Amino acid sequence: MSPDRAAVSATTGEGQRSEAALIAQMRRQLTVGQRPLFVGIDGRSGAGKSTVAARVSQAFVEPGDATGRVTVIEGDDFYSGGSADTWDRRTASEKAALVIDWRRQRDVLERLRRDGVAAWQSFDWDAEDWDSDSVPLVATPTIARPAAIVLLEGAYSCRPELHDLLDLRVLLDVPHAIRRKRLIDREGDAYRSDWDARWSAAEDYYFDIVMSPERFDFVLSDWHIGE
């Protein structure tokens, strides 16, 4: 662990903190020269990762700055879990390891750090064959350049294979009942039918064994989002 990482852990690792404290922590790291600042925003389905990423982005908007100071990379762009049938045949550990292509995520982060620009093709959620020899990807690439802050948001975004590329690892810790209501509101019948049975095992394995809360630099609880 680097001195900077140790300092972050010492100030943010002692329990759950507020969204305002997260933004303040990011400002402090920018002040001491960490540019761009690479941040992973992780959490279970329905935790509010996209919401927090949007609020963080808004917090760093400056007058007259048309492009903003935050680049957001959506973790769902790198889905690689295959079809429902393939997914259901896997063990919980296999699901957690394969659901997101962290190698492509790592390549994007490395290129942003090294070259100042990265392009990738997002997973094609409208494709008919999710189990083809090659993962179905949209034709038009997404192109990103690093602003002052680069946010990788999405479940599994702080996995150990990315730790050396992330300056700050953030966990959104939200009670199951709140997440379930959000998912029902968002997914409707699709959630009611099989979401818990199909996706929870992978998330349980990842957040209980691979990335338990103490491995994050900052834990943001649901009742502190927006504070």
Per-position pLDDT tens, the chain of length 227: 333 343 333 333 444 578 889 999 999 999 887 679 999 999 988 888 998 999 999 999 876 665 568 999 999 999 999 888 888 899 999 999 999 999 999 999 999 999 999 999 999 999 888 876 678 899 999 999 988 999 999 999 999 999 999 999 999 988 777 777 777 777 666 555 565 667 889 999 999 999 999 999 999 876 555 54
pLDDT on residue 85: 86
pLDDT on residue 47: 82
Going along the chain, which residue ranges are E strands?
16-17, 37-43, 70-74, 118-120, 142-144, 149-153, 168-173, 218-221
pLDDT on residue 12: 39
Q: 3-224: CATH homologous superfamily?
A: P-loop containing nucleotide triphosphate hydrolases (3.40.50.300)
> What is the Cα–Cα distance from 61 to 68, expressed in whole angstroms?
5
Closest CA to 9 of 205, 171, 147, 224: 171
pLDDT on residue 178: 75
Q: pLDDT tens digits, residue range 163-178?
A: 999 999 999 988 777 7
Percent above pLDDT 70 for the chain: 81
Q: What's the chain's Rg over C-alpha atoms?
A: 17
